[in-house]
Amino acid sequence: MTDESSPALAVRDLAVEYATDRGALMAVNGVSFSVAKGEILGLVGESGCGKTTTAMALLRLVQHPGRIVAGEALIDGGQNIVALDEKQLRSVRWRRIALVPQGALNSLNPVMRVKDQLGDVIQTHEDRRIGGRELRERIEHLFMLVGLPSRVYRLYPHELSGGMKQRVCIAMAIALDPPLVIADEPTSALDVIVQRVVAQTLLSVKQRLGMSLLLIGHDMGLMAQMADRVAVMYAGEIVEIGPTSAVLGNPRHPYTQTLIASVPTMRTRGLPRMGSDESAPDLASRPRGCAFQARCSSVMDVCRSVAPELRAVGENQRAACHLYPDGVA
Amino acid sequence: MLRLSRRYVLARLGRFVLTVWFGATVIFVVPRLGRSNPVDAILGRLAQSGASVQNADQLIAGYKHRFGLDKSVWTQYAHYLENAFTFHQGYSLAQFPAKVDTLIGRAAPYTIGLLLFATLVSFALGTLIGALLGWSRTNPVLRRVLPITLVFTALPAFMLGILLIYFFAFRLRWFPYAGAYSSNVTPGFNLAFIRSVIEHGALPALSVVIVTMGVWALGMRGMMITTAGEDYMVLADAKGLRSSRVFWSYGIRNAMLPQVTQLGLSLGSIAGGFVVVESVFAYPGLGGLLYQAVINNDYTLIQGICFYLVLGVAFAVLILDLIYPLLDPRISYSKG
Amino acid sequence: MAETAETRRSRRRSPWLNGKLMLGIAVLVALLSLQWIGPLFVDTQEALIGSTTPNLVPVGQKANPALGFKPSKSAHPLGTDSQGRDMLAVMVVGTPRTLYVGLVAAGLGLIVGTILGFLAGFSRGLTDSTITTLTDVVLTIPPIAVLVVVAAFFTQTSVTLLALIIALFAWPTATRQIRAQVLSMREQGYVKMAQLSGASIWKVMYGEMMPNLLPYLAASFMSMMAATILVVTGLETLGLGSIRLPTLGTTINNALQASAVFRGMWWWWSPPVVVLIVIFLSLLLVTLGLDQVANPKLRKHL
């Protein structure tokens, strides 16, 4: 049951908690966003900010000692992934939401040929038994979409280059034509030149099939290239979200500003200015108030006592910062 | 299946030949460490233990001919190797004029059959049990019950054999305790014979299976736990594949690779342990024959059996090495 | 500064202090100490042939004279065998001797194996190939095959000599394990840092790698000990052990040769069997405990 106007993905107040020796740690602390049909939403932030955990939570792959403790994630305005039982989950996985994993170094089964790894996901999810020839044709069609030569069909993962492995993963993700694909740092572990090829493949596939894409990464350049909108995460929360051009060109939240400033350009000289305390946030002992207070150069008294909420700071752009108490444009 | 690179096959064959040669050399050298003349040594021992050897002249002549004892040690060595590799181990001392090779030929099928069967069964069962114990989604009832099968892991197989004889052959009289088949049965492809063989082979096989099963299970359990954390396992789940498929094609298929390697490494000790099991059960395989040879001070037979043991195990390892690339496609492409 | 609850908790959780490891070692030490404690309670001379009345049943059992058994005497609580050995004395003498073989062979095997394992893992190239090939060759040869030849031709083999020869077959286990660990540790950051800072190979090995290798070394030692005791007991069961003083294996062999199982003389064959079971179980426990130290993923399970 798809509602044409509803977003491909609607996440409300998602929270993921990890049990550690030092107590419970909120890796994802009440995150809400949505991805419209056919849109590419980028999710950026530094390592440990919770973006990968968010992706895992959407696929219900959060492993012990982590678990989803709150929130909902609606696919196509319909089912709430967080609430599905095992059986429902298995039918939803990959058909409605698929994953292009990080780096693809180890994401392919080393002892299975490419054709079998692509084939088994198709076979599992179709109601009828697919004959050998039809299966082969479908797989070769997928190869064509991602630009892989047909000889890859019979190869094993260790016989492929990094870029080819990643494109196999992309082919696998689109095999069932899902409405939503999550790409978790799809280019991180690759060489610069190969990164470009893979990024272009992803983009072309998206354009051809019209699916929505949740693109996770820390590469601002990639976001600028591909994403329609961008959400910036820090310490398990979204601190700014809006159209890519707005967020990257006119960042409002101090953290976003430091992120953008830290990207070296051809024109910058001198070192980027950072906050006073460089260390990553300790998610186990959150301070009262804003999570960014220790590193923020514009910190105020109110930041230490009240946690800011996302407020509009521009057209479709929102930021969670006390610098914009009433959503000043 | 031409995936085996020539280099790999040659390397493995080379290792096989090297191992057999090494073992044969040790077996050749040891008896000569005391005296220079092995026949004298043998006859000396026999005289010491009060045994008498019939047809001593024929024996000595035969030995001198076969082994060229009037020639230098190196010539003897060369002859020995030549004889060993053409399967001429000489005459048995205690059962003269029977030839060592003939005796071994008669005993070997029992050992090969039983050992092969027991090893394969224990490996398959143990690996499966270990995989189930290491898999997080196993039925909890199974998880409770299965560890019971591992109780006897810590024992040597022959000791379990003694226990089995005591309980099942002596007390309960369910199984026979010696031999390969009953004396009232004629060998051949008839049902009575086959049934008798199975009856007699049950306890010895069980000793080996129960004990080694635990070793495989423990190893596989560890490997499954490690494998479960791999990225491709996470992706397999994300793909919405059936749990059973993830277990078999993604889990076991990867986790069992180190196990197979371990199997190859353990064959030497498994064979050794089995030899003792046979002696405990008076089973007429190579182990039983060895026991008889030891009791009778049949030195030539002892040497012959030990050589064939080395040969057999090395050959089994070779086969395993050649099968391995079929299981792990990464191997024949890496260095040797 | 006062110790916080945190540090106290993490100290208590040191992986080396797990139950399996400690129980296993405790049992082994106890059995080994029979060497010194045993003679205080038991006359070890009674472990020799013909030292007491044969065929005494153990205390608490009725003797069946038709089978040739004599009633029990409190001086021989575990009974005697048909050659006049007091079973309790045999156990007190034999257990430490069997353990001794295991310790010597495993110890020697560990020393040789560690040296070769390090050499192979560090040097790569020809040294590595040579050592690896040698390791595989020796591993493939069934120890029983060579040992039977040795023991058959040299009947005066002492327990120490047997232990040394068995060590020759034990070292490959350790070499393989150590080499594998060294190979993976080489690539670790802290090793490369140490090398970059100009430390010599030996310093890197002992300073940086050894502490992390300890659980693997210990595990190798334990499995070599188990394999050794298995081989020597097997050899003795075949009748090739030392003759004068008993060990667990020679006792089993004597019992089997005298058909003790079928004559119902359970007190002859079961004590060595039981003690061997205890020894192997303890070794297994220690190995499992060490597994948990080495592989943190296993700490939650079982």
ipTM of the complex: 0.83
Stretch B7-13: mean pLDDT: 88
Query: Does residue C261 belong to any structural domain of this protein?
Result: yes
Which sign does the torsion angle of CA A108, A114, A118, A121 carry? negative
**H-assigned helices in C124-154:** 125-140, 143-153
Residues of C in contact with A63 (CB under 8 A): none
Report the pLDDT value the prediction gives residue B302, as an integer from 0 to 100.
85
Dump strand ranges (E) for A127-195: 180-184
Pick the closest to residue C139 from B11, B216, B267, B325 (CA basis).
B267
> CB distance from B334 to chain C under 8 Å?
no
Average pLDDT, chain B: 81
The residues with which A121 forms a beta bridge, in sequence order, are none
HSE-CB at A151 with a 13 A cutoff on CA atoms is: 2
Token pair recorded at residue B89 = 């181990």
Token pair recorded at residue A179 = 């409405």
Stretch A1-5: mean pLDDT: 54
Token pair recorded at residue B6 = 């020539």
Domain count, chain C: 1
Question: What distance in Å separates the CA atoms of residue B66 and residue B79, rounded to the nearest whole number?
Answer: 8
CA distances from B186 to B100, B192, B275, B280, B282 (A): 24, 8, 25, 24, 19
Q: Between the ranges A138-142, A313-317, B28-32, B281-285, where is the mean pLDDT highest? A: A138-142
Helix orientation angle between B253-281 and B191-228, rounded to the nearest 10 degrees = 140
Question: What distance in Å separates the CA atoms of residue C79 and residue A49, rounded to the nearest whole number?
Answer: 73
Find the CB nearest B269 among C142, C146, C153: C142
pLDDT digits (tens, 9 = 90+) for C174-221: 898 888 888 887 777 766 776 677 766 667 666 777 777 888 888 888
The residues with which A229 forms a beta bridge, in sequence order, are A41, A243
Percent of chain B's residues with pLDDT above 90: 15
Topology, domain B100-295 = MetI-like fold (1.10.3720)
> What is the assigned CATH class of domain A9-96+178-271?
alpha beta
For residues A226 and A203, the answer to whether their CB atoms sit within 8 Å is yes
B79 phi and psi angles, rounded to 5 deg: -60, -40
Q: How far is A64 from chain C (nearest CA, A)?
A: 11
Residues of A in contact with C6 (CB under 8 A): 21-22
Test C143 with B291 for CB contact under 8 angstroms: no
User: Rounded to two decimals, what is the model's pTM?
Assistant: 0.82
CA distances from C285 to B101, B119, C103 (A): 44, 24, 17
Find the CB nearest B268 among C141, C155, C280: C141
Q: Encode burial over B172-193: b for 16+ CB neighbours within 10 A, e otherwise.
A: eeebbbebbbeeeeeeeeeeeb
Domains in chain B: boundaries = 1-94+298-336, 100-295
Q: How many CB atoms lie within 10 A of CB B161?
A: 29
- One-letter amino acid at A221 equals G
Residues of B in contact with C152 (CB under 8 A): 294, 297, 299, 302
As a whole number of Å, the CA-based R_g of chain B is: 24
Q: Could you tell me which chain C residue has the CA closest to the CA of A64?
A: C300
Q: Could you tell me which chain A residue has the CA closest to the CA of C6?
A: A22
A84-93, B52-61, B203-212, C68-77: range with lowest mean pLDDT: B52-61
Q: How many CB atoms lie within 10 A of CB B78?
A: 13
Q: How far is A36 from chain B (nearest CA, A)?
A: 22
Interface of C with A (CB under 8 A): 6, 9-10
CA distances from A61 to A67, A73, A82, A93, B36 (A): 9, 14, 11, 11, 72
- One-letter amino acid at C41 equals F
As a whole number of Å, the CA-based R_g of chain A is: 21
Q: Could you tell me which chain B residue has the CA closest to the CA of A101?
A: B235
Q: Could you tell me which chain C residue has the CA closest to the CA of B227?
A: C297
| DSSP per-residue letters across B113-130 | HHHHHHHHHHHHHHHHHH
**B152: which residues sit within 8 A by CB, 6+ positions away?**
B160, B210, B211, B214
Continuous segment of H or E residues that includes residue A42: strand A40-44
The residues with which A40 forms a beta bridge, in sequence order, are A213
pLDDT digits (tens, 9 = 90+) for A292-308: 877 787 777 777 887 78
Stretch A194-201: mean pLDDT: 87
Q: How many CB atoms lie within 10 A of CB C225?
A: 27
Residues of B in contact with C144 (CB under 8 A): 271-273, 275-276, 309
For residues C185 and C62, the answer to whether their CB atoms sit within 8 Å is no
Q: Could you tell me which chain B residue has the CA closest to the CA of A57?
A: B238
Report the pLDDT value the prediction gives residue A181, as an integer from 0 to 100.
93
Test B269 with C145 for CB contact under 8 angstroms: no
Q: Encode burial over A296-327: b for 16+ CB neighbours within 10 A, e otherwise.
A: beebeeebeeebbebbebbeebbbbbbbbeee
- One-letter amino acid at C40 equals L
C84 phi and psi angles, rounded to 5 deg: 85, 25
Stretch B198-209: mean pLDDT: 87
Question: What distance in Å separates the CA atoms of residue B293 and residue B254, rounded to the nearest whole number?
Answer: 44
pLDDT digits (tens, 9 = 90+) for C113-156: 988 988 888 777 888 889 999 999 998 888 888 888 888 777 66
Question: What distance in Å separates the CA atoms of residue C54 and residue A245, rounded to the nearest whole number?
Answer: 100
> CB distance from C277 to chain B under 8 Å?
yes
- Cβ-based contacts under 8 A for chains B and C: 150
Pick the closest to residue B282 from B140, B86, B110 (CA basis).
B110
Stretch A212-237: mean pLDDT: 88
Count how many residues are written for chain B: 336
Distance, C-alpha C278 to centroid of its chain: 11
DSSP assignment letter at A129 = P
Give the position of tokens 């498994």: B270
Percent of chain A's residues with pLDDT above 90: 19
pLDDT of C103 higher than 50? yes
Test C146 with B303 for CB contact under 8 angstroms: no
B229 phi and psi angles, rounded to 5 deg: -90, -5
Question: What distance in Å separates the CA atoms of residue B155 and residue B160, rounded to the nearest whole number?
Answer: 7
Pick the closest to residue B211 from C277, A185, A77, A244 (CA basis).
C277
B172-176, B272-276, C21-25, C97-101: range with lowest mean pLDDT: B172-176
Query: Does residue C47 belong to any structural domain of this protein?
Result: no
Residues of B in contact with C142 (CB under 8 A): 268-269, 271-272, 275, 309-310, 313
A: neighbours with 3+ CB pairs under 8 Å?
A: B, C
Question: What distance in Å separates the CA atoms of residue B195 and residue B181, rounded to the nearest whole number?
Answer: 9
Residues of B in contact with A93 (CB under 8 A): 237-240
Q: How many CB atoms lie within 10 A of CB B294?
A: 21
CB < 8 Å from C in window 151-170 of B: 153-156, 158-159, 162-163, 165-166, 170
Give the position of tokens 């010597």: C104
The residues with which A182 forms a beta bridge, in sequence order, are A99, A214
A242-251, B65-74, B279-288: range with lowest mean pLDDT: B65-74
**A164: which residues sit within 8 A by CB, 6+ positions away?**
A148, A152
Token pair recorded at residue C219 = 């595990």
Token pair recorded at residue B316 = 């089994």
What is the tally of helices (H) and strands (E) in chain C?
Answer: 12, 0
Split at pLDDT 50, 70, 90, the class of A271 is very low
pLDDT digits (tens, 9 = 90+) for B128-165: 999 999 888 888 888 888 888 777 877 888 888 888 88
DSSP assignment letter at A37 = T
Split at pLDDT 50, 70, 90, the class of B102 is confident
Helix orientation angle between C248-257 and C87-123, rounded to the nearest 10 degrees = 130
Give the domain extent around C165: 87-301
Q: Could you tell me which chain B residue has the CA closest to the CA of A58?
A: B238
User: Domain containing C247 — which CATH number?
Assistant: 1.10.3720.10
For residues C132 and C140, the answer to whether their CB atoms sit within 8 Å is no
Test B330 with A156 for CB contact under 8 angstroms: yes
Find the CB nearest B302 among C152, C234, C273: C152
Burial of A243: CB neighbours in 10 Å, binned 0-12, 13-18, 19+: middle
Report the pLDDT value the prediction gives residue A273, as an integer from 0 to 100.
44
Query: Does residue C275 belong to any structural domain of this protein?
Result: yes
For residues B114 and B291, the answer to whether their CB atoms sit within 8 Å is no
Report the pLDDT value the prediction gives residue C1, as an integer from 0 to 100.
44
pLDDT of A236 higher than 70? yes
DSSP assignment letter at B143 = H
Question: What distance in Å separates the CA atoms of residue C165 and residue C161, rounded to the nearest whole number?
Answer: 6
Find the CB nearest B31 among C153, C226, C238: C153
Burial of C153: CB neighbours in 10 Å, binned 0-12, 13-18, 19+: buried
pLDDT digits (tens, 9 = 90+) for C233-292: 888 888 887 777 788 888 888 888 888 877 878 888 888 988 998 998 888 888 888 877
Burial of A195: CB neighbours in 10 Å, binned 0-12, 13-18, 19+: buried
Interface of A with B (CB under 8 A): 59, 61, 63, 89-95, 98-99, 101, 105-112, 120-121, 124-125, 156, 158-159, 172
Continuous segment of H or E residues that includes residue A44: strand A40-44
Report the pLDDT value the prediction gives residue A1, as an integer from 0 to 100.
45
Pick the closest to residue A237 from A66, A64, A13 (CA basis).
A13
Report the pLDDT value the prediction gives residue A113, as an integer from 0 to 100.
92
Domains in chain A: boundaries = 9-96+178-271, 110-176
Q: How far is A61 from chain B (nearest CA, A)?
A: 7
For residues B211 and B157, the answer to whether their CB atoms sit within 8 Å is yes
Q: How many CB atoms lie within 10 A of CB B258?
A: 16
Token pair recorded at residue B64 = 């001198």
Q: Encode burial over C273-293: b for 16+ CB neighbours within 10 A, e otherwise.
A: bebbbbbbbbbbbbbbbbbbb
Question: What distance in Å separates the CA atoms of residue C179 and residue C192, rounded to the nearest whole number?
Answer: 17
Quick check: bond before C58 cis, omega within 30?
Answer: no
Which sign does the torsion angle of CA B163, B168, B172, B176 carry? negative
Stretch B62-68: mean pLDDT: 59
Question: What distance in Å separates the CA atoms of residue B111 and residue C256, rounded to the nearest whole number?
Answer: 21
pLDDT of A180 higher than 50? yes
pLDDT digits (tens, 9 = 90+) for B313-330: 999 999 999 888 888 888
For residues C288 and C20, the answer to whether their CB atoms sit within 8 Å is yes
Stretch B242-271: mean pLDDT: 90
- Cβ-based contacts under 8 A for chains A and B: 75
The residues with which A26 forms a beta bridge, in sequence order, are A17
